[in-house]
Amino acid sequence: MVAAGGWVFFMGSLMGAPQDDPRVQEPPPPIIEVPPVRVEDPRPEFPVGDRFTLRTIAMRPRWDLTTREFDAGMFSGQMNLGDVAEFERTSMALEGRLDLGPWMISAMILNQKSRFVLNGDTTFEQHEFPAGTVVEGTAFFSTLEVFYRFDVAGGPADPFQVSMLVGINWSKLYMGLSDDVRNAREGFSALWPLPALGVEARYWMTDRLSVTASARGTRFRFENPFQLDGGETQDIRYLFGRFDASLEWALSSHFSVAAGYTGIDAFINAASPEDTDTADLKSGGLHAGMSLNF
């Protein structure tokens, strides 16, 4: 019995030896590498392509005008025509824009009219309007812009797109006061098509929601030898700048709506030995519009 017990103890010791031997180690647990999650910018579900956009802009314009008629010896001084003519503080402007391939064509019109009674004597473009006269006031601005687009980063189907714009700006600006006897109007017919530059950027926040910002304008100085009244050559300085920012929601592949802000500054100075006229339109306001994609 003693021999048998010793044999069992001996065999148990042999079988337990590998487990107690410190030289025998467990294999290390396997290492499982999980690749990092890559968050990609949203891509447009309906990329922007050829389209027509119609937009209304709730402008709050300021029409500043200064006329100095040296040959007639009449000087109006600086005039805020909006205050004199009692224009509505907010006026709706209308804009249409066509994007066709790399071309962008935009036309905008802003027009204000009023009929009022002059509170004081007013000098305007070689005419004297006495206080108490019933007068009609007019202010008009329009611009036609044609640009060729050069994409410098991204594209219509990418999460972002940055484009340079090279083209022309053709603006028309005039202001006037008239009654039954007098018709005084200051128009700047020498605003021919002028070279213009711009930049436009779009970023997609989701697959249907994007934000767009653009700035474009021109600054030019030239001589106008064709005065309507047969006077001497005019020295023309013209400055135009426009900024837009909008948030756009693509309803489908054909329709989208947008809202945002538009700011405009148009300045012109026309100087000659006979007269010097300066006009400055500053305006800005909220816009809303709809685009038809085709």
SS3 197: strand
d(CA 258, CA 248): 4
Domain ranges of the chain: 51-293
State pLDDT tens for residues 231-246.
Answer: 678 889 999 999 999 9
Residue 258 has what pLDDT? 98
Q: How far lies 120's CA from each of 117, 134, 135, in Å?
A: 9, 12, 12
d(CA 201, CA 164): 9
Nearest to 202 by CA among 150, 245, 259: 245
Choices 1.10.3720.10, 3.40.50.300, 2.40.128.100, 1.20.58.220: CATH for 51-293: 2.40.128.100
In this predicted model, which residue has the larger pLDDT, 225 or 230? 225
Confidence check: pLDDT of 3 > 60: no
Structure confidence at residue 17 (pLDDT):
47
pLDDT for 54-86, tens place per residue? Answer: 999 999 999 999 887 765 566 667 889 999 999
Terminal-residue alpha carbon distance, the chain: 103
Query: Please, which pLDDT band fits residue 120 given cuts at 50, 70 and 90?
Result: confident
Q: What are phi and psi of 206, to 5 degrees?
A: -135, -175
pLDDT tens digits for range 256-268: 999 999 999 999 9
Question: Is 20 or 215 the better-scoring residue by pLDDT?
Answer: 215
Determine what percent of the chain is predicted with pLDDT higher than 70.
84
The tokens 């700035």 sit on which residue? 215
CB 227 within 8 A of CB 234: yes
Secondary element (H or E) of residue 79: strand 74-80
Q: Please name the residues in contact with 90: beta carbons below 8 A apart, sequence gap of 6 or more.
A: 58, 59, 60, 285
